[in-house]
Amino acid sequence: MVDQQSNTDGHVVFWDFDGTLALRDGLWAGAVVDALQRIDPTITKTASDLRPHLKSGFPWHRPEIVTTPMPAQAWWDRLTPTILAACTAATIPVDLATAAAKLLPEEFYRLDAWELIEDAHLALRYTRAAG
């Protein structure tokens, strides 16, 4: 986040770990279910159905493996096998899972799916004041 009103000449990277500034109901499993429901509103799977199958396979589950920077789409493509495996384990048809995986980036970042944690604004204000 770069404050356009400050005299900061440098660039700032601000990283938010899941659950430090905002929460998404169901997080990854919730986003997958939301994507599935956009394709098939009658689907009855829940985040609880998917969550056990998402406990491994994401890049952050293997922090010892260092990767080089990559374009956003390549990063999302890296998640696809994990999403497909979780959906398959939860008995979701592959064609539906594949379509949901393609919608996942858009669905995960959907603003109305997120809720700010109570003190997030205060934490960001302190961070900004600290430079």
Residue-wise pLDDT tens digits, 83-114 = 999 999 999 999 999 999 999 999 999 999 99
Q: Which amino acid is at 29?
A: A
Please, where are the H alpha helices in the chain?
27-39, 47-50, 72-89, 94-108, 120-130
According to the model, what pLDDT value does residue 22 have? 87
> What are the residues whose beta carbons fall under 8 Å from the beta carbon of 82, sequence distance 6 or more?
54, 56, 57, 58
For residue 13, the model assigns a pLDDT of 59
The answer, yes or no, to whether residue 2 has pLDDT greater than 60, is no
- 5 has pLDDT over 80: no
pLDDT digits (tens, 9 = 90+) for 16-56: 667 778 888 899 999 999 999 999 999 999 999 999 999 99
